[in-house]
Amino acid sequence: MRRLAAGAAAVAVIVSACSGSSATPAPTAAASAAASAAPAASSAAASQAASSAPSQAAASLAACGTVNIADNPWVGYEADVAVVAYILKNDLGCTVNVKTLSEQVSWQGFPTGDVDVILENWGHEDLAKTYITDQKVAVDLGSQGNVGIIGWFLPKYYADAHPNLMNAYQQADPAKAVATALNAVASDFVSSESGGKGQLLDGDPSYVTNDEALVAGLGLNFKVVYSGSEAASDKAIQTAINAQKPILAYYWEPNWFDSQINNQMVHLSLPPYTAGCDSNTKSMTCDYPPYNLNKVASVSFINSGSPAVTMIKNFKWTNDDQNAVATDIALNKMTDDAAAKKWVDAHPDVWKAWLAGTGWTGN
């Protein structure tokens, strides 16, 4: 999982947790400079609320109108919005309003018209049932190309030193084996915020997370501690890696932060996910499912006749594409439009395919 800004108090808590002699810090690495995915908005995203003037190529198209795009609080999602908004504005002549909202609140905008599209949906079967199946105010627009993973991650140096921990999920009784292995090293992760237990660092509480239910279900001597944002989680992870200390963190892929830490965070596999194993929201023993990330749009937007509908239906890119744009935004401090333009200039064959069927006749 993002782009929420971390409060000074939250950052102080995380940093102090990381600096303790036997303690580990306190993510998702999620939100503005992330933190998704984990799972709060940047000034760059806010600057997109007003559209720029349409290009000459866009001027001859059917009227695009206004497109309201939800922007959820992690940098990877911001990258989606940056590129889609850039093309909508400059090639289709749309007015684009970017709405900085949490994942759950974004869906509430479908029946009111406040949100036309979510560009990166991480599951949310309950919300899909409410707004797609029951109320019929939204529709699934299919894959946006990214393959998502949510889970618990450790620094590679710690994983390499604890092969039994990393392989526990393969045992005959994976839940028991994983619990035994984690509890055996819980003291390595104690922080000033974890009350004598091992610390499991989560990010923004609005992210998709089963972590408290997993701690309960597996019977772990760990406490979930929320950093508050992607940025705060990333800071805690970076501090731990710099000091070569242990840290156990909620983390996700695609994640631009991987490149900054030289891909040092590795997935700690829990007992494998099976359909329905996460139905009890108070107690779970299985890992997160894989996510084929999709787009969701309001029925009113779909029926609007705007060429933006076709472009967004066609929008599809890779984890590497997203990470490249997110890195330019979060690490290289480029504005959303500048990062989008850089990617657009380098990948004309990809984005021009998204405009097929819109009536666009540009170069």
pLDDT in tens, 305-326: 999 999 999 999 999 999 999 9
Non-local CB neighbours of 56 within 8 Å, separated by 6+ positions: none
Phi, psi for 295 (deg, rounded to 5): -105, 150
pLDDT tens-place string over residues 138-174: 999 999 999 999 999 999 999 999 999 999 999 999 9
Tell me what pLDDT residue 354 has: 98
* Identity at 309, one-letter amino acid code: V
Tell me what pLDDT residue 208 has: 84
Tell me what pLDDT residue 93 has: 95
Cα(301)–Cα(15) distance, integer angstroms: 44
Tell me what pLDDT residue 7 has: 36
Instruction: Provide the token pair at 10.
Output: 């939250």
Tell me what pLDDT residue 12 has: 35
Tell me what pLDDT residue 42 has: 40
Cα first-last separation, the chain: 36
Low-confidence ranges of the chain (pLDDT < 50): 1-60
Q: Considering only CA atoms, which of 73, 275, 222 is closest in space to residue 213?
A: 222
* Identity at 38, one-letter amino acid code: A
Q: What domains can you pick out in the chain, each with its CATH number?
A: 8-38+148-268 (3.40.190.100), 43-146+294-354 (3.40.190.10)
Tell me what pLDDT residue 33 has: 36
pLDDT tens-place string over residues 227-265: 999 999 999 999 999 999 999 999 999 999 998 998 999
Instruction: Provide the token pair at 218.
Output: 């597996």
DSSP label of 190: B
